[in-house]
Amino acid sequence: MSAVSRATRSVTHTHEHLVSTIAELGEVPVIELVDGGRVVAVLIAPDLFEALLDAADDADDYRALAEHAADPDPDMVPLG
């Protein structure tokens, strides 16, 4: 996955300007919320969130294939 642009906003700013902060996700797909100099939450644009879920599902599939290749089921009957 390529680098994703991101912004940082304080929790206080976000609390005071929630609607505009959410609207910002149309321009910047990731907004880190900072409190006391520490990232405490992250807002993610819906399309990026869906892409991350798809990537996680793909990773699970690849892991399952790798585990099977490393230790195939001896009782499995090949198709074809």
pLDDT tens for the chain, 80 residues: list them. Answer: 457 899 999 999 999 999 999 999 999 999 999 999 999 999 999 999 999 998 888 777 667 767 767 776 667 666 66
Count the Cβ atoms, other than its own, within 10 Å of residue 47: 10
**pTM, full prediction:** 0.68
DSSP one-letter string for 18-39 = HHHHHHHTTT-SEEEEEETTEE
